[in-house]
């Protein structure tokens, strides 16, 4: 027997170095859609032009078949299939190729290509979904002008939308049918194509651009949801204005539409002139959305809008360049949100996300540079590394040259590459030329994976403070040896007596080890390093608890202040986990943290938003990352132990804080949002220390709540406690919000993410709840992603959590491989987990890889996680 027959085919690996320009270009395309939920027929007419020697036009396909192929209007048999691709032999320089395909939107559970969601039809094409609609050179460096004709039932699809401008609408072709034509004058790659047909209503508004052009804005939702679109509309108008003022970017069409859909694989999609959004990033009102939801909406609306320039006007040459648009656009949305609200809090939140999502990626089996060198399935590279570390890398360029010169660099970039499919190298070169800086060595940030580790020591003698810095970059898959990187570090040296410093400086660590001398210090100063988180590195500074306490109270850089308190806690918890602390040392450590917390709780100069931030303890994942091999059970115990101590010893102060904050009426102001934030943080600490008291207080907050932030915060605390109030309030929440999917998602998440000792059993039971479904990604994530990142569920010692996620992946993979593959990373952490659990995690990955017919998405992630 030939064993190789039983094995799946070896995966195709795509390499960045193999890039070849397209053999044929498609300057124009006309698509005709005959719409139906069960079946949609598509005729694609491509004007093609030779771009090299080859006579073979390769059109990518995925799961589709050609019903007819015409060349220059004549039916032809001169085509063949090569795997999923369709090849046509063309003798001349220019031809028109027309292909008919039939697809079934309702059967499309992957949610890539054209699919049905609640009776409406919509598309998702990035990265390679267009080839599920029609045969096409589905690569981002083929730019075409699109004209789209649609026809369908007036009843089922009263609204017909596509990219660009609507140029014609009419009745027919049959009874009860209507049709529309859309034309997008801007050449674009196929991944930016979009079509929506459904029963939708719009919140409409206008925006006048800086050159005085009026743009019609529409946010399309299902009837009844219009009232929840105002925040998104405001965010859109704010984004349009901000991009004009901050980056000089003006919108370039007369129409900008957004459609919200409830079945969506990610947050949103920047299709030219027709953004498609997950409902969770559009719909908000006080009754159903938390303050964090409001922030998420503002950030994502801005992000997709900003893509109009960083992504659409200048797109990517190939998918290895993804960070060109994503890293830059994340930076742009971060800067926007900093300007719209509290810059300090936004920076801390962004760093928390980076540390929670990107640092583990960078130190695990799926580590890759922000510009990857190879992939099997590009969907797996929409990662925290490409997005968030990508943003940090561009932020460092900005830090190095300052905002004005950075703007000169981005102006040059937009100018030089407008209308092109560009590379990361093009971006760096434009910043180099426009801002006037040599980024030669800096480019290593694009090619080297792994989070650099910087050690720091400050010596003081003869009035001179000497800072010794050293950097090392850990090995990552395929990259054993690393070169020293360019690491900009913002630094201040505090005089401990006056609590002030002489001004912040920017130093650049660009060798393996360097010393920096600072004369003029009669006393040993206190070192504040990496202010504003000026580089995406892990800093290991030799710094005393006393200095950390000083910085936690005095640092005038809000991030550095937050960081000092975090470091104090991390050091303490690592010592607890080490098991070598004497009782006296344990008491002293806790006491110092409690004193610092008491100062935070009582500091009148602090605003509540920042206070709430400072009250968040380092996460379990971040703590695990500090250890070579972690015991998740021990980490939970140590962290909850500290919370309990803080809750008990600060009870009076926390109750007073909760009381004061509860008197602030609901508003979207920073003050009122801050009040809600500290309320929930206070409850979380009290829940660990004085659970009965906290349960009563949370129940009272729940009952009194006139907004989702308070209600959800209270329910989160109750969900983790063993109290009859838990079930009572969970049931009340479900009844109150029945029929509102986004809120029901919260109900699932709260239970799956809770600190309750039986949380795993709750998740198992919820999987059988009538509101649970495997076909809606939001619901799947609400239950299972919350569980996978909850160590109390995922890491139960029996391995049942791993088994549950493994089973989920195997069941979900045939339905929605993109979403299934996202659940591999938690299992892939096995090398950094204690051996008993590690073996169980690995066994789950092996079971997944052995599943016959596994998708490319899941296979790539699981096999790399084992390798």
Catalytic residues: 304
Beta carbon of residue 295, minimum distance to ligand B3K (angstroms, whole number): 16
Beta carbon of residue 828, minimum distance to ligand B3K (angstroms, whole number): 19
Chain residues 454-513 in contact with ligand B3K, contact rule CB under 6 A: none
Please count the other Cβ atoms lying within 10 Å of the Cβ belonging to residue 217: 19
Asked if 326 is part of the footprint of ligand B3K (rule: CB under 6 A), the reply reads yes
In this chain, which stretch among 227-235, 302-310, 438-446, 494-502 interacts with ligand B3K, using CB under 6 A? 302-310
Rounded Cα–Cα distance for residues 429 and 426 (Å):
5
Residue 240 or 435 having the CB closest to Zn ion: 240
Beta carbon of residue 426, minimum distance to ligand B3K (angstroms, whole number): 19
How does DSSP classify residue 3?
Answer: G
Dump the DSSP string for 501-516: ES--EEEEE-SSEEEE
Residue 299 or 589 having the CB closest to Zn ion: 299
Choose among Zn ion, ligand B3K, none what residue 362 binds, the Cβ cut-off being 5 to 8 Å by kind. none
Number of residues that bind ligand B3K (CB under 6 A): 12
Interface mask toward Zn ion for 329-368; x: CB under 5 A: x---------------------------------------
Beta carbon of residue 329, minimum distance to ligand B3K (angstroms, whole number): 7
Burial class (CB in 10 A: 0-12, 13-18, 19+), 849: middle
Beta carbon of residue 788, minimum distance to Zn ion (angstroms, whole number): 24
544's torsion region: left (phi>0), alpha (psi -120 to 50) or beta? beta
Contacts of 55 (CB under 8 A, 6+ apart): 89, 90, 91
Chain residues 606-635 in contact with ligand B3K, contact rule CB under 6 A: none
Question: Residue 169 in contact with residue 53, Cβ under 8 Å?
Answer: no
Rounded Cα–Cα distance for residues 602 and 625 (Å):
31
Interface mask toward Zn ion for 302-331; x: CB under 5 A: ------------------------x--x--
Residue 574 or 815 having the CB closest to ligand B3K: 815
What letters, b where the CB count within 10 A reaches 16 and e where it falls short, cover 463-493?
A: eebebebbbebeebeebeebebbbbbbbbbb
Q: How far is CA 209 from CA 252, 275, 306, 854, in A?
A: 9, 19, 14, 49
Rounded Cα–Cα distance for residues 192 and 348 (Å):
33
Asked if 62 is part of the footprint of ligand B3K (rule: CB under 6 A), the reply reads no
Asked if 304 is part of the footprint of ligand B3K (rule: CB under 6 A), the reply reads yes
The separation between the first and the last C-alpha atoms of the chain, rounded to the nearest angstrom, is: 28
Rounded Cα–Cα distance for residues 396 and 443 (Å):
12
Task: Give the CB-nearest residue to ligand B3K.
Answer: 126
Beta carbon of residue 534, minimum distance to ligand B3K (angstroms, whole number): 25
What letters, b where the CB count within 10 A reaches 16 and e where it falls short, cover 579-614?
A: eeeeeeeeeebbebbbebbbebbeeeebbbbbbbbb
Chain residues 125-144 in contact with ligand B3K, contact rule CB under 6 A: 126-127
Among 58, 228, 280, 303, binds ligand B3K (CB under 6 A): 303
Beta carbon of residue 112, minimum distance to ligand B3K (angstroms, whole number): 8
Rounded Cα–Cα distance for residues 831 and 837 (Å):
10
Chain residues 491-520 in contact with Zn ion, contact rule CB under 5 A: none
Residue 95 or 307 having the CB closest to ligand B3K: 307
Contacts of 867 (CB under 8 A, 6+ apart): 365, 477
Beta carbon of residue 322, minimum distance to Zn ion (angstroms, whole number): 9
Residue 127 or 825 having the CB closest to ligand B3K: 127
How does DSSP classify residue 6?
Answer: G
Choose among ligand B3K, Zn ion, none what residue 379 binds, the Cβ cut-off being 5 to 8 Å by kind. ligand B3K
Rounded Cα–Cα distance for residues 309 and 188 (Å):
12
Beta carbon of residue 127, minimum distance to ligand B3K (angstroms, whole number): 5
> Crossing angle, helix 691-704 and helix 670-689, to 10 degrees?
150
Choose among ligand B3K, Zn ion, none what residue 143 binds, the Cβ cut-off being 5 to 8 Å by kind. none
Candidates 743, 753, 831, 827; CA nearest to 785 is 753
Candidates 330, 303, 318, 427; CA nearest to 387 is 330
Residue 307 or 561 having the CB closest to ligand B3K: 307
Residue 127 or 638 having the CB closest to ligand B3K: 127
Candidates 180, 141, 142, 140; CA nearest to 164 is 180
Residue 357 or 766 having the CB closest to ligand B3K: 357
- 161 bridge partner residues: 196
Beta carbon of residue 577, minimum distance to ligand B3K (angstroms, whole number): 37
Among 144, 279, 379, 383, binds ligand B3K (CB under 6 A): 379
Residue 27 or 267 having the CB closest to ligand B3K: 267
Choose among Zn ion, ligand B3K, none what residue 266 binds, the Cβ cut-off being 5 to 8 Å by kind. ligand B3K
Q: What is the CA radius of gyration of the chain?
A: 28
Question: Residue 506 in contact with residue 488, Cβ under 8 Å?
Answer: yes
Choose among Zn ion, ligand B3K, none what residue 382 binds, the Cβ cut-off being 5 to 8 Å by kind. ligand B3K
How does DSSP classify residue 405?
Answer: H
How does DSSP classify residue 385?
Answer: I
Residue 265 or 363 having the CB closest to Zn ion: 265
Choose among Zn ion, ligand B3K, none what residue 620 binds, the Cβ cut-off being 5 to 8 Å by kind. none
Chain residues 250-289 in contact with ligand B3K, contact rule CB under 6 A: 266, 268-270
Longest CA–CA span in the chain (Å) reads 93
Contact residues for Zn ion, defined by CB under 5 A = 326, 329
The residues that touch ligand B3K, with contacts defined as CB under 6 A, are: 126-127, 266, 268-270, 303-304, 307, 326, 379, 382
């Amino acid at each position: 027997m030939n064993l190789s027959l039983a094995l799946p085919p070896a995966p195709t690996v795509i390499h960045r170095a193999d890039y070849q320009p397209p053999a044929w270009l498609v300057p124009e395309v006309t698509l005709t859609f005959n719409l139906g939920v069960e079946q949609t027929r598509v005729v694609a007419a491509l004007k093609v032009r030779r771009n090299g020697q080859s006579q073979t036009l390769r059109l990518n396909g995925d799961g589709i078949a050609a019903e007819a192929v015409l060349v220059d209007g004549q039916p032809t048999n001169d085509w063949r299939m090569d795997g999923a691709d369709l090849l046509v032999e063309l003798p001349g320089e220019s031809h028109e190729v027309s292909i008919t395909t039939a697809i079934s939107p309702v059967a499309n559970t992957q949610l890539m290509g054209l699919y049905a969601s609640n009776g409406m039809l919509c598309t998702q094409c990035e990265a390679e979904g267009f080839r599920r609609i029609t045969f096409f050179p589905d690569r981002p460096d083929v730019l075409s002008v699109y004209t789209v004709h649609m026809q369908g039932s007036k009843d089922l699809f009263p609204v017909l939308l596509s990219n660009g401008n609507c140029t014609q609408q009419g009745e027919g072709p049959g009874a009860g049918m209507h049709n529309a034509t859309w034309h997008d004058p801007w050449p674009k790659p196929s991944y930016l194509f979009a079509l929506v047909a459904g029963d939708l209503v719009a919140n409409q508004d206008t925006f006048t651009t800086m050159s005085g052009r009026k743009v019609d804005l529409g946010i399309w939702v299902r009837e009844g949801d219009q009232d929840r679109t105002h925040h998104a509309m405001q965010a859109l108008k704010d984004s349009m204005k901000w991009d004009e003022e901050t980056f000089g970017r003006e919108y370039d069409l007369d129409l900008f539409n957004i459609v919200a859909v409830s079945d969506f694989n990610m947050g949103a999609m920047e299709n030219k002139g027709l953004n498609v959004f997950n409902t969770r990033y559009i719909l908000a009102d006080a009754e159903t959305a938390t303050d964090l939801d409001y922030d998420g909406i503002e950030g994502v609306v801005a992000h997709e809008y900003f893509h109009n320039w960083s992504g659409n006007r200048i797109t990517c040459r190939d998918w290895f360049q993804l960070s060109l648009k994503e890293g830059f656009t994340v930076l742009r949305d971060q800067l926007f949100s900093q300007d719209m609200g509290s810059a300090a809090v936004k920076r801390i939140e962004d760093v928390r996300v980076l540390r929670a999502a990107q640092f583990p990626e960078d130190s695990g089996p799926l580590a890759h540079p922000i510009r990857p060198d190879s992939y099997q399935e590009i969907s797996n590279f929409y990662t925290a590394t490409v997005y968030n570390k990508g943003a940090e890398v561009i932020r460092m360029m900005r830090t190095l040259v300052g905002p004005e010169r950075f703007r000169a660099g981005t102006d040059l970039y937009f100018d030089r590459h407008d209308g092109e499919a560009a590379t990361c190298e093009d971006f760096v070169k434009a910043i180099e030329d426009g801002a006037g800086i040599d980024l030669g060595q800096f480019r290593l940030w694009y090619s080297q994976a792994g989070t650099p580790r910087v050690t720091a020591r400050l010596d003081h003698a003869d009035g001179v403070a000497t800072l010794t810095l050293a950097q090392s970059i850990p090995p990552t898959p395929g990259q054993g040896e690393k070169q020293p990187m360019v690491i900009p570090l913002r630094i201040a040296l505090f005089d401990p007596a006056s609590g002030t410093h002489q001004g912040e400086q920017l130093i650049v660590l660009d060798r393996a080890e360097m010393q920096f001398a600072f004369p003029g210090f009669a006393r040993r100063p206190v070192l504040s390093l990496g202010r504003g988180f000026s580089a995406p590195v892990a800093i290991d500074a030799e710094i005393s608890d006393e200095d950390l306490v000083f910085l936690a109270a005095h640092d005038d850089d809000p991030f550095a202040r937050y960081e000092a308190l975090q470091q104090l806690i991390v050091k303490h918890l690592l010592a607890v986990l080490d098991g070598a602390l004497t009782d006296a040392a344990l008491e002293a450590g806790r006491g110092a943290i409690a004193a610092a917390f008491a100062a935070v709780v009582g500091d009148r100069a602090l605003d509540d938003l920042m206070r709430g931030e400072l009250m968040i303890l380092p996460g379990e994942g971040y703590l695990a990352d500090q250890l070579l091999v972690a015991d998740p059970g021990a980490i939970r115990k140590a962290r909850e132990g500290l919370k309990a101590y803080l809750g008990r010893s600060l009870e009076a102060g926390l109750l007073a804080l909760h009381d004061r904050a509860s008197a602030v009426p609901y508003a979207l102001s920073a003050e009122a949002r801050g009040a809600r934030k500290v309320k929930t943080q206070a409850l979380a600490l009290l829940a660990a220390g004085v659970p009965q008291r906290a349960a009563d207080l949370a129940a009272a907050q729940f009952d009194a709540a006139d907004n989702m932030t308070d209600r959800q915060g209270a329910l989160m605390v109750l969900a983790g406690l063993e109290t009859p109030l838990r079930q009572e309030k969970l049931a009340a929440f479900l009844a109150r919000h029945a029929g509102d999917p986004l809120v029901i998602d919260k109900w699932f998440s709260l239970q799956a993410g809770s600190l309750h000792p039986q949380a795993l059993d709750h998740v198992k039971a919820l999987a059988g709840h009538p509101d649970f479904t495997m076909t809606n990604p939001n619901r799947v994530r609400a239950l299972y992603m919350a569980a996978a990142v909850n160590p109390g569920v995922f890491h139960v010692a029996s391995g049942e959590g791993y088994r549950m996620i493994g089973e989920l992946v195997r069941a979900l993979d045939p339905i929605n491989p993109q979403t299934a593959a996202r659940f591999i990373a938690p299992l892939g952490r096995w090398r950094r987990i204690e051996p008993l659990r590690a073996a169980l995690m690995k066994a789950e990955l092996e079971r997944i890889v052995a599943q016959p017919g596994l998708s490319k998405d899941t296979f790539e992630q699981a096999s790399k996680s084992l390798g």
